[in-house]
Structure 1
Amino acid sequence: MLKSLLTTALLAAGLAAASPTLSHAADAKGDWVRPNGASKIRISSCGNALCGNLIWLREPRNDTQNPDASKRDRPLLGVRIVQSMKPTSKDKQWKGKVYNAEDGKTYTGFIELTSANKLKLEGCVMGGLICKGETWSRAN
């Protein structure tokens, strides 16, 4: 009986110690790297949604393609590119807006946690009929 209680207590302690890792594994929040390694994005809470800001660029530059001429001289570092992502009915998927600094356009966007260390991002047009995306890797 004592051995059984001790085993149960050790198992519970082990699960409690592992739970931060498990919850982190199912969480899109964190730092992510694009496949080409040119930038790093930090996904975090913004109100009741998720947002992502550029936190590192291999080659820092300004937001030259922004449709708002007054923003074309601002550095891209710190710009929010993943905007107001809210959960969808699909597990581990969020929908919001994605700003593409390469063309200066904002698209309907989706992020989906495909594994603990992979986050798929898509920008879509025509109501989601045509989407283009890439899979980011969790930064170490």
Structure 2
Amino acid sequence: MVSPQRCANPRVSGAPLLVSTGSVAGPTIGRVRCRSVDAGQDEQDMLTPFVARMAMLTVSAMALAMSPVGAQPAAAQRVGAQKVAAQGAAGLQGIWRNGSDSVRIKLAPCGSSLCGTVVEASAKAKADAAAGGTARLVGTQLFHGFRRGEDGLWYGRVYVPDIAQEFDGTIDQVDRDTIVGKGCLLANFGCKSQTWRRVSAKR
């Protein structure tokens, strides 16, 4: 017959223990079993692994939250930039004429950039170009190496056939059918602008 009693555990200050005594095989041999009834200690033992797991999950969640939402690998960013530039170039492609319609150019991709090549020119424009040192105006690139900047402008080199020289320049698309080309001698010094209008396709 086993009867529960209380015993003191010298290693646990103030912690009552339940004691059960009972006979086992053999004469008058008793065995004492003590079990701590300190509920707080038992709960602490049970919660320790749980708290550790929760701490690990919290740290993982914080690390995920701190990651930039829109972060992309460098390669993906480059591909995105190329797509944006390609879409902008598509809006510039076509035949354009200057204000007097003495010169027409074709804007089209050339490698990884955009170029504008003369496809038609009046007799006077050809003569002026020849006098300035450009023997054959038709087929000459007036715009070459143009790439779209972050500000939406296109940057490249502008060739002036009347003086046979090229300068740093920009192309600004004002609207679907109007662009403004600008060339500068140095930075923004000695700049000259020219408006070009899209030539509608013949129907």
TM normalised by structure 2 equals: 0.50
- Structure 1 residue 75 corresponds to structure 2 residue 136: yes
In structure 2, the residue matched to 1:88 is 149
Match of 2:165 among 105, 114, 119: 105
For the residue of structure 2 that corresponds to 1:27, the secondary structure is helix
Q: Which amino acid aligns with 1:120?
A: V
CA drift at 1:61: 2.5
Map 1:123-134 onto structure 2 (within 5 A): 123-134=183-194
C-alpha distance in structure 2 between counterparts of 1:96 and 1:75, whole Å: 22
Q: Hey, which of these two has a bigger chunk of helix by percent?
A: 2
For the residue of structure 1 that corresponds to 2:187, the secondary structure is helix
Q: Which amino acid aligns with 1:81?
A: L
User: Structure 2 regions of 5+ residues with no counterpart?
Assistant: 1-86
Q: Which amino acid aligns with 1:44?
A: A
In structure 2, the residue matched to 1:61 is 126
Task: Pick the structure with greater CA Rg.
Answer: 2
- Structure 1 residue 32 corresponds to structure 2 residue 96: yes
C-alpha distance in structure 2 between counterparts of 1:37 and 1:121, whole Å: 15
TM normalised by structure 1 equals: 0.71
In structure 2, the residue matched to 1:6 is none
CA drift at 1:130: 3.4
Q: Which has the higher contact order (CA 8 A, sep 6+)?
A: 1
CA drift at 1:36: 1.2
In structure 1, the residue matched to 2:178 is 118
How many equivalent residue pairs?
111
User: Structure 1 regions of 5+ residues with no counterpart?
Assistant: 1-22, 67-71
User: Identity rate of aligned residues, in percent?
Assistant: 22
In structure 2, the residue matched to 1:7 is none
C-alpha distance in structure 2 between counterparts of 1:27 and 1:124, whole Å: 24
Alpha-carbon contact 1:33-1:136 (below 8 Å) kept:
yes
C-alpha distance in structure 2 between counterparts of 1:40 and 1:99, whole Å: 14
